[in-house]
Amino acid sequence: MDKKLILQHNIIEIIMSDDLFGCFGSDSDNDDDGDDGAVASIDVDANVKDMKSSQSQSQSQSQSQSQSQSSQVVAREESCGVLSFHKNTEQSLLVNVRNNMNSAGATSLLPCEGVLQEIDKYCFRKHWMMHIGPEKKRMIQDTLLNTIQKKMENHTRSPNKNKFICVELGTYCGYSSICLAQASASLNLDELNLDLDFHLFTVEINPEFAKVAREMIQLAQVEDIVTVLDNDLFMDGSTGDVGALIRDAIASKYGGDVGDEDADTFMGIDFLMIDHDKDSYLPDLQRLERSGLIRRGTCVVADNVLFARIDEYVNYMKELGEMGEGIVTTVTKEASVEYSGKMQGAGQGQDDVDLDVFKDGVGKSRYCMFHQFYLARV
C-alpha cells in the first residue's frame, strides 16, 4: 500500500523517525519468553486439505493455535496502528524475526510457519505493516492450490505441464512470497503422483525492502523456489519493463521459449499476484499481456482493490469478462485490511476500538482465452 494513496485518503499522518527501534518497545517486549498471545498463521481451507503433505502434523499443531484475524486483540500503541508508517520498521521487523526464530520457542514450527507467525505477532502487537496478513493469506493460498490443480488436470499433454510459474509484483518484506511457497510445499506430490516444478519470481523496486525479503525467505528456508528480482526505478518515477524482466528470469532458469504464441506449450505465468504501487496495477498487467506471459489459464490475484479503490483495474477485468464469451472470469472477495482487528483500550478506562471499518477486497481473475484475442486492445 503506497504512501501516496494513504495521503489521498486523509486518514494517516506518516511519522518518520531516525531511531530504528524507538517506537517498538524495549527489549523486554521481544516475546522471547513464550507464545503467550502469539498470532499463528492459519492453514488453507478444508477443500484443499487432501493435498497436504506428510508435514500435516506440524501444520495442524499450528492451526490449533490460530484464530481468525477479525478476533485478534491488537496490543500495539496507537501511533503504530493501522496505516501508520515509521522509518526503518522493516529492518526492525527483520531483527525481531531473526532473534525469535533463533530462540527455543520457534523450534517446534516449520520454518515457513515460524517466520509467518513471528511477522503476524509483530504486526498485531508492535507495529502495523502492509503484508497481506493471515486472513487474506488463506484466500490466496487456496486460490494458488486450486490453480495448480486445474493446470495439472487441463494440461496433461503439455510438455511444460509440471512447470508452474508464479509471479509476484511487490515483494515488500517477503511475507506473501513465503505464503505462496508454503502453499506449494504443502502438496503431497507422491500421493498425488505429481512431479511439480514450482518457482516464484517476485519483483521489488526498493533495494532495502528486497534485502529484507531475501533474508526472510532464507529464514523460511524457501530460497530454492523463490527468486527476488530487482526492478529499476527511474528519476521520473517510471520503472523498468516488468515483462522483459520476468521473461529474462524465466528464460534464464528454464531455457526454451517464453511467451510463445502456442498457448499449450509456451512457458508463461500460471499465477500472478499484484500487490505493489496501486497506480501500476493495470499498466503492469497490460505490459505482461503484451509480453505474451499472460496465458489461457493464468490466474491473477490483486490485493487492496476495494480499500485502495483501484477502479481502473477492476473495471478493466470486468470489461474483459463481458467481451464475447468472456476473456476472463473475475470476482472480488471481501476481506479486512491486514492487521485491523481490535485496538485495546490500553487499560486506561477506554473502550476497545473496533477497526473493522477498514474493509478491503481481493480481486481474483482467471483468463479463459489466449492473449492474442485481446492483445491489440492494450
The enclosing domain of 57 has a CATH number of 3.40.50.150
pLDDT digits (tens, 9 = 90+) for 139-177: 999 999 999 988 887 765 666 778 999 999 999 999 999
pLDDT score for 108: 63
The whole-angstrom separation of Cα 186 and Cα 5 is 35
The whole-angstrom separation of Cα 307 and Cα 336 is 9
Q: State the DSSP string of 57-93.
A: HHHHHHHHT---GGGPEE-S-GGGSTT---TTHHHHH
pTM above 0.85, yes or no: no
pLDDT digits (tens, 9 = 90+) for 111-146: 999 999 999 999 999 999 999 999 999 999 999 999
DSSP state at residue 294: E
The whole-angstrom separation of Cα 365 and Cα 317 is 7
What is the arrangement of strands in the sheet containing 226-230, beginning at the earlier edge strand? 226-230, 197-204, 163-169, 269-274, 294-302, 359-367, 328-336
Task: Determine if residue 174 is left, alpha or beta; phi over 0 gives left, psi from -120 to 50 gives alpha, anything else beta.
Answer: left
The whole-angstrom separation of Cα 371 and Cα 352 is 50
Rounded to 5 degrees, what angle do the CA atoms 246, 164, 268 make?
40
pLDDT score for 325: 72
The whole-angstrom separation of Cα 352 and Cα 342 is 7
Expressed as residue numbers, the domain containing 22 is: 3-377
Q: In total, how many domains does the chain have?
A: 1
pLDDT score for 86: 95
Residue located via cell numbers 492451526: 63
pLDDT score for 370: 56
Q: Which three cell numbers stand for residue 287?
A: 505490459
Of residues 115, 39, 126, the one with CA closest to residue 81 = 126
Tell me which amino acid residue 317 is: M
Give the residue ranges of the chain where pLDDT is below 50.
1-71, 261-264, 343-350, 353, 355-356, 371-378
Which residue(s) pair with 363 in the sheet?
302, 332
First to last CA, the chain: 25
Q: Which three cell numbers stand for residue 11?
A: 486518514
Q: Are 270 and 151 spatial neighbours (Cβ–Cβ below 8 Å)?
A: yes
pLDDT score for 317: 94
The whole-angstrom separation of Cα 237 and Cα 287 is 17
DSSP state at residue 233: B
